[in-house]
A and B are shown apart, each in its own frame.
Chain A
Amino acid sequence: MKLSYFPGCTLKNKAKSLDIYARKSSELFGITLEEIDNWQCCGGVYSTAKNDVATKLASVRALKQAYEKGQALVTVCSACHNVIKQTNHLMKNDTAIAKKIDRYINDGSMYTGQAQVYHYLEMLRDIVGFDEIRKKVVNPLNGKKIGAYYGCLLLRPSSVMQMDNPENPTIMEELISALGGQSIIYANRNECCGGYIAMESGELARKKSNQVIENAKKAGAEMIITACPLCRYNLIKNGSDIPVVYFTELLAQALGIKGDTNE
């Protein structure tokens, strides 16, 4: 099975391991991720500003390419996913913007949100299936206590993202248990890490990140996994003393493609 794939800028430098192990692991399930030709930066969360047209073009081009190939589009970075999924929703529901963007792209066919967008986690849950993953695990995590960290972008706005319950999600917890780990539920797992505020107020970002780390640790987590490069950056930068890794690294480790991720 072939699916279109939008990696995103960060995954080409700072977050290479999020990208590499996503691709390698999917091959094991018979899924090839075909990178979109000439993809451009999704624009980060700034492109979700309501009236901006230009910043949405990158997302629309990627979506359109996937749709024209007859493939669903898979993303893995939380921020890219948020931008692309929201843009797709907008194309489907706001004809005025869709028309405006059509005039920019001007290639003869208007895009109106027909493509299907999957986050990699959704692909694991809905296309592969956690039971299938469980069968392929060669290095089970032996009950390691892992706290899934969703951050704010992955699940919200829930009416558009439609991935999971934004206040009590289960998708990463199910993945952890499929890989043989023990998922730790902690209240701050869907709170903001501080995000881009780190550039303006390092203090505030530190406060937000520390709340997440402390809460996860108190609940018993020995490791935190995330799908977001910025979340990982903030948590590590602000002194997490337990490892913070990408969920794809953990997946690859359990599947036997990668060594121990306790870096």
Chain B
Amino acid sequence: MQRIGVFVCWCGSNIASTVDVERVSEALKNEQGVVFSTNYQYMCSQAGQDLIKSAVKEHRLTGIVVCSCSPRMHEATFRKAARSAGINPYMVEIANIREQCSWVHKDIITGTEKAIILGKAAIAKVNLNAPLIPGESPVTKRALVIGGGIAGIQTALDIAEAGFLVDIVEKKPTIGGKMAQLDKTFPTLDCSACILTPKMVDVAQHEKIRIFSYSEVSSVKGFVGNFDVTIKKKARFVNENICTGCGACVEKCPQKKIPNEFNLGMDNRSAIYIPFAQAVPKVATIDPNACNMLKNGKCGLCARVCTAGAIDYTQKDEYIEEKYGAIVVATGFNPISMEKFDEYAYSQSRDVITSLEFERLTNAAGPTGGKLLRPSDNKHPHTIVFVQCVGSRCSVDSEKGKEYCSKICCMYTAKHAMLVRDKYPDTEVYVFYIDVRTPGKAFDEFYRRAVEEYGVHYIKGMVGKVVPEGEKLKVQASDLIENKQLHIDADLVVLAAAIEPDKSARGLATMLTASMDTNDFFTEAHPKLRPVESPTAGVFLSGTCQGPKDIPETVSQAGAAASKVIALLNKDKLLGNPCVAHSNEEICNGCSQCERVCPYGAISYINKEFKMPDRSIKTRRIAVVNPAICQGCGACTVTCPSGAMDLKGFTSKQIMAEVDAICR
């Protein structure tokens, strides 16, 4: 028989204004097993916790029910209080009377009634609770960073500096990510490559960091502290350890008409290529879809000119297995496709470009050597129209773009406009916007400089149509402040395309069992208080995979993610979750259905000998759960046809008792 204490929290007025807490604690007094019931203004405060602790001693409590906020918020707090009072933490149950009650009801009568019912359900459960003891597991002292952009680079450097081993997996032939493609950075206008490439070199030279470039994560198993990861190292047909990056092969390669991804297809590269001069690792990669030797065995020129003998046409994809204690996702973003925005004539005219393409056009290492020339005829554009929010801030039912603000476009467009006016004062620059959003250090000053000092024409309103006619792009737009239609004959139109998470993120989230929002951005464990952790233990978030951000924000978040990883890797052992599945071997008939639904691969089968009533011995196949891998999701318990599977802390009996209490 349990001796249960009930503690009803007011949460200031959060609960107390829609739930009569006095009545709740009074009503729960007479429930089975309850020996003490009270209410208090802030149960989570030190005084509130002390109240619980002293009640445990005074009334010799064996179980605790706290009627308060969501268990996500303070279950850990109250479990800790219980432990210090000498009760097993798993004898604590939370009845959520805030998020699921006081916050959603307006009327104190229904609110109170519901709070009482929720309290009764929790009491019914505690009556059947049993003490649980978590197991311990070791921590592998190595971190995996997925994505080698500025987010991944910064996270890796910070973790490595703390003395832990880090591997970076990057799907492209080089690390560097989007930042390597940018020209200047706002609001200070320092050169992107100049601040990024030294960090890339630091990564390459750090003794604690390994780079797996041109590689992808192909499977993840295990759990926090003990991830088993398979990395697919794609065949680049060049021996990375021998290649010196001299570039002789690139020069000699006869296949030179391949659209260059690094310059967004605005110029060409050869079939064997090094993405850019500062690539890390600086080794060549053969594009198997373009190489004549790999396609039909005719050529082999690169192998002949390579003095190091690094070319290997027989190279195969390689799978590497490694253990990690923590995983950081830094998969980054891409601009959205412009195919649904053909009112801007992106597919009809080469002179309608995206902002990222504009970055390459103004970059000294870009296809035009930094000269701003129109892609169609290499002439200087004299009128440029920038269109902001292309695909950002779309209405819910538009089916075209994203609902969210991409956050970086206002600033980079101001930067583009300013740089054009600075370099080419004879060029007229128009920027069409819905709002100009510049909340950041020195951001608004920067935007105002573009308007006031550089004379960029900022027009509130959107472009409705771009019509290529002859050499001109006829831009039809509205000016909402002047309330008139505008017609501008432009030479170049630049679209600030919305950004979206990299396509690889979804598959990765499934592998990591990490959750995503409706836009495929990774969800953080708490939007305010745990912004760099995923709800999946041991998985951390760095950079734009979690939401749109600029470089300074990305770098800060990358550092924050690293500090969380360091805190985790510093531990020698981790306490597991004791609320795991358990199979009753007397009932289990080894049908394998639980194994099929288990998302973590925690269930296996053994043959066990059983003594029968007639003293004979019979061998039966039964399910066994590995408590270190099981995450307690409960999928197996509802699947098991014989009812042999049960979840500790959430047994079928406990759940039914709760349901009974609610229906009583």
Contact = CB atoms under 8 A, between A and B. Distances in A.
A34 interface: no
Given A165-B339, A165-B342, A168-B347, A218 B397 contact: no
B340 interface: yes
B469 interface: yes
Interface stretch (A49-57, A136-144, A184-192): A184-192
Nearest to B466: A187
A132 interface: no
B340 A218 contact: no
A168 to B, nearest CB: 4
Interface in A167-198: 167-168, 185-188, 191
Residue among B345, B469, B470 having the largest count of chain A Cβ atoms under 10 Å: B469
Interface of A: 158-159, 165, 167-168, 185-188, 191, 211, 214-215, 218
Contact of B348 (A158, A159, A187, A191): A187
B348 A185 contact: yes
Contact of A191 (B342, B345, B399, B465): B465
Contacts of A211: 467
A168 B397 contact: no
Given A159-B399, A167-B341, A168-B342, A187 B468 contact: yes
Contacts, number: 31
A243 B467 CA distance: 22
Nearest to A214: B469
B317 interface: no
Given A167-B340, A187-B345, A215-B467, 11 more contacts: A159-B399, A165-B340, A165-B342, A167-B343, A168-B339, A168-B347, A185-B348, A187-B466, A215-B469, A218-B469, A218-B470
Interface in B306-348: 339-343, 345, 347-348
**4 closest cross-chain pairs (CB), A and B:** A167-B342, A168-B342, A187-B467, A167-B343
A159 B397 contact: yes
A203 to B, nearest CB: 15
A191 B345 CA distance: 13
Contacts of A191: 465
19 contacts: A158-B399, A159-B397, A165-B339, A167-B340, A167-B341, A167-B343, A168-B339, A168-B347, A186-B467, A187-B345, A187-B466, A187-B467, A187-B468, A188-B465, A191-B465, A211-B467, A214-B469, A215-B469, A218-B470
Residue among B340, B341, B342, B397 having the largest count of chain A Cβ atoms under 10 Å: B342
B335 to A, nearest CB: 17
A168 B341 CA distance: 8
Contacts of B399: 158-159
A185 B346 CA distance: 13
A186 B470 CA distance: 11
Contacts of A218: 469-470
Residue among A168, A185, A211 having the largest count of chain B Cβ atoms under 10 Å: A168
Nearest to B344: A167
B316 to A, nearest CB: 40
Residue among B340, B348, B467, B470 having the largest count of chain A Cβ atoms under 10 Å: B467
Residue among B341, B343, B397 having the largest count of chain A Cβ atoms under 10 Å: B343
B107 to A, nearest CB: 29
